[in-house]
Amino acid sequence: MEIKKLQQRVRRRLLPLLRRQRMAVLAAPVVAAVLLLTWAAYGEAQYVLYKDATKPVEARVTDLLARMTLAEKIGQMTQIERQVASPQVLKDYFIGSLLSGGGSVPRKQATAAEWVSMVSDFQKGSLSTRLGIPMIYGIDAVHGHNNVYGATIFPHNVALGATRQAALLSPRFAKLLPFFTNREIRFCLMFLSRDPNLVKRIGAATALEVRATGIQYAFAPCIAVCRDPRWGRCYESYSEDHRIVQAMTELIPGLQGDVPANFTSGMPYVAGKNNVAACAKHFVGDGGTQNGVNEDNTIIDRRGLMTIHMPAYLNALQKGVSTVMISYSSWNGIKMHANHDLVTRYLKDRLNFKGFTISDWEGIDRITTPAGSNYSYSVQAGVLAGIDMIMVPNNYQSFISILTSHVNNGIIPMSRIDDAVTRILRVKFTMGLFENPMPDSSMADQLGKKEHRDLAREAVRKSLVLLKNGKTSDKPMLPLSKKAPKILVAGSHADNLGYQCGGWTIEWQGDTGRITVGMTILDAVKAAVDPSTTVVFAENPDADFVKNGGFSYAIVVVGEHPYTETKGDSLNLTIPDPGPSTVATVCGAAQCATVLISGRPVVVQPFLGAMDALVAAWLPGTEGQGVTDVLFGDYGFTGKLPRTWFKSVDQLPMNYGDAHYDPLFPLGFGLTTQPRTY
């Protein structure tokens, strides 16, 4: 339309001028020539290589980078929290990324449409800038889209580390056992029989639910190797053994899509607008801190770091992970957020990682002690270490001002800024963000859809580990009868969806009660049993009530309260009150199956003798029917411990292969049952 108007103006003004000058003979060819030149000049001015989706990603990145000012580059390196953002802020500061921290939502119980509206408004601010670079929105979708009301909440990673592949349970596999030594068989059952395909399917479902809210970036998976259950983030780790963690990096192609043939390891990859950028975290050694203290010091030699904590990152890069988040922790006293040797020389240079690195929440602030005491130094140290995007997340004006000053004063070279922005743009171009920057409102029905809940239910039943079944081996208690006349369900966790989901659910620290849409274990019991069965719920009954209740059996559901990060650090790992007394009272008066809801092994040896059955249910999420599927025998127990279960906390840290290894239940332990035929 603009070129036509320009041509019309040329005709109106040039033709009369030529005629007045008695050059009518030349008028037509002169005007034609001018019009052609006008068209060519306009076309050349309007063609922008970086906006051309047919051009290679690297060419587009180079073209766009060359057009950017320092302010625009630093803006791309800045990630801010949605609560301090506005479309105008994104426009004025050229902000490259937003995030929602735990519990940061448009409103309580916001719908997918409300999320989409919010993200769209922010994105419009980014697209209105001179270069129109879209922002990327990140969120902690660590066991489903767990910040969002109504989303499917999957079991936490520790539970997924307990799942077992059906293929290695088959008769075909059993026929091969005579050809292996006992050690080899144990290795297969312990390490090779996990279910990475299940984790991949969970990743794909999570990506769809995240996209349903307009978000394009998930801070997952956590590929920490938790070596001490006293660590408050141990449930975010798949296992104490790096081989299990490596297998579970299949979440990445679930989130991002499968990389193409002849893919170059280290390059970022996102298949399309139904996928999201993933984030391998927390680089590196976060699960090995001394005494399991969160964000503390991992004391281990380089060989130990490389053989225990690093291997899963190699798998992540082979699968095209787009981003890597740096750990709060230190390695032998050096803060990872300031560790140039590992972030730049090893991850970027040696492993050839070409996506972008991102700090953790206020991660650079914590380079100094106390945190934030020398923010100017923190900015310098973090960026020079090789961190590309800084999760500021609130004080963005200070960060931008300081980083700008460091560059202008030669403290941080422009080459480091260009490297960071190149990586950020590479991810944005690779994932198609320039072509599809706006949310797709038609995906709203993906949030909490039945197929995803069915998948979560499958994950729950496959992750449960049966630790005890009957007081004698010849008299198993499980599976339970659905046709018992009267049963008791007791315990603080039986009818509490918040406790069942754990931390990182709706709120950062999790919460209690009916915090989202889902089915508690009590709900599931009532749905599973025969209509003639009476189900009585008493959260913490006294002994007389249990003895005189005429119950065929009792199901006791107790465990840890929700926690996240440092608030979950524990030196004693005991079950909170009144859990132990509930177990003692109920199991002392009736036949009882105890279902333990926890993010890690906890102290159970003192109560084990009183229990008829004990099930480690981990943090199962919203689909409580996955628990009753195996309790009542619709499916058999198949889960295997992803972690060593200690006898006493005095043994910790204790991992498989240690010289002092003397567990209550070893890594890989798990009793099995067969489905019941009704």
Say how many CA atoms lie within 13 Å of 629 toward its Cβ.
Answer: 22
Domain assignment present for residue 665? The answer is no
What per-residue confidence (pLDDT) applies to 46?
A: 86
What per-residue confidence (pLDDT) applies to 17?
A: 52
Phi, psi of 461 (to 5 degrees): -65, -30
Domain assignment present for residue 678? The answer is no
For residues 33 and 65, membership in a common domain is answered with: no
Q: Is-catalytic flag, 360? A: yes
Query: Quick one: tokens of 532?
Result: 């003639």
Instruction: Report how far residue 474's alpha carbon sits from residue 300's, in angstroms, rounded to the nearest whole number.
Output: 46
Domain assignment present for residue 232? The answer is yes
Instruction: Report how far residue 79's alpha carbon sits from residue 490's, in angstroms, rounded to the nearest whole number.
Output: 46
Asked if residue 78 lies in contact with residue 401, where contact means CB atoms within 8 angstroms, the answer is no
**pTM summary value:** 0.92
What per-residue confidence (pLDDT) applies to 193?
A: 73
Residues of the chain short of pLDDT 70, as ranges, are 1-45, 166-192, 678
For residues 476 and 533, membership in a common domain is answered with: yes
What per-residue confidence (pLDDT) applies to 126?
A: 98
- 47 DSSP assignment: -
pLDDT in tens, 165-204: 865 545 555 556 555 665 555 555 555 579 999 999 999 9
For residues 19 and 78, membership in a common domain is answered with: no
Q: Is the dihedral of CA 244, 250, 252, 254 positive or negative?
A: negative
Give residues with Cβ within 8 angstroms of 105, minimum separation 6. Answer: 115, 147, 148, 149
User: Which runs of E-coded beta strand occur in 327-367?
Assistant: 330-331, 334-335, 356-358
What per-residue confidence (pLDDT) applies to 29?
A: 53
Structural domain containing residue 621: 464-651
Give the CATH number, domain containing residue 416.
3.20.20.300
For residues 287 and 342, membership in a common domain is answered with: yes
Which is catalytic among the residues 209, 240, 286, 360?
A: 360
- State which H helix or E strand residue 616 sits in: strand 613-618
What per-residue confidence (pLDDT) applies to 25?
A: 47
For residues 442 and 469, membership in a common domain is answered with: no
Cis bond before residue 221 (omega within 30° of 0): yes
Look at residues 414, 508, 383 and name the one whose alpha carbon lies nearest to residue 103.
508
For residues 36 and 73, membership in a common domain is answered with: no
The 10 Å CB-count burial string (b at 16+, else e) for 209-219 is bbbbbbbbbbb
CB atoms within 10 A of CB 566: 14
Phi, psi of 467 (to 5 degrees): -95, -25
Asked if residue 503 lies in contact with residue 669, where contact means CB atoms within 8 angstroms, the answer is no
Instruction: Report how far residue 43's alpha carbon sits from residue 39's, in angstroms, rounded to the nearest whole number.
Output: 6
DSSP string, 244-293: HHHHGGGHHHHHH-PPPTTPPTTS----STTS-B-EEEEETTGGG-GGG-
For residues 496 and 359, membership in a common domain is answered with: no
Cis bond before residue 413 (omega within 30° of 0): no
The strand pair at 613-618 and 465-469 is best described as antiparallel
Domain assignment present for residue 114? The answer is yes
Angle of CA points 595, 600, 601, to nearest 5°: 70
Which is catalytic among the residues 72, 209, 565, 623?
A: 565
Asked if residue 443 lies in contact with residue 436, where contact means CB atoms within 8 angstroms, the answer is no
Look at residues 379, 199, 352 and name the one whose alpha carbon lies nearest to residue 278.
199
For residues 424 and 530, membership in a common domain is answered with: no
Residue 634, SS3 per DSSP: coil
Domain assignment present for residue 188? The answer is yes
β-partners of residue 30 are: none
For residues 421 and 553, membership in a common domain is answered with: no
Domain assignment present for residue 52? The answer is no
Asked if residue 284 lies in contact with residue 336, where contact means CB atoms within 8 angstroms, the answer is yes
Q: How far is CA 501 from CA 138, 508, 580, in A?
A: 21, 12, 20
For residues 415 and 288, membership in a common domain is answered with: yes
Give the CATH number, domain containing residue 506.
3.40.50.1700
The 10 Å CB-count burial string (b at 16+, else e) for 275-303 is bbbbbbbbbbbbbbbeebbbbbbbebeee
Tell me the residue length of the chain: 678
Measured in whole angstroms, how far is the alpha carbon of residue 393 from the centre of its chain? 19
| Domain end (from 446, 473, 500) | 446
Work out how many domains the chain is built from and give that number.
Answer: 3
For residues 306 and 353, membership in a common domain is answered with: yes
Give residues with Cβ within 8 angstroms of 306, minimum separation 6. Answer: none
For residues 35 and 67, membership in a common domain is answered with: no
Domain assignment present for residue 456? The answer is no
Domain assignment present for residue 155? The answer is yes
Q: Is-catalytic flag, 530? A: no
Query: Quick one: tokens of 457?
Result: 């239910």
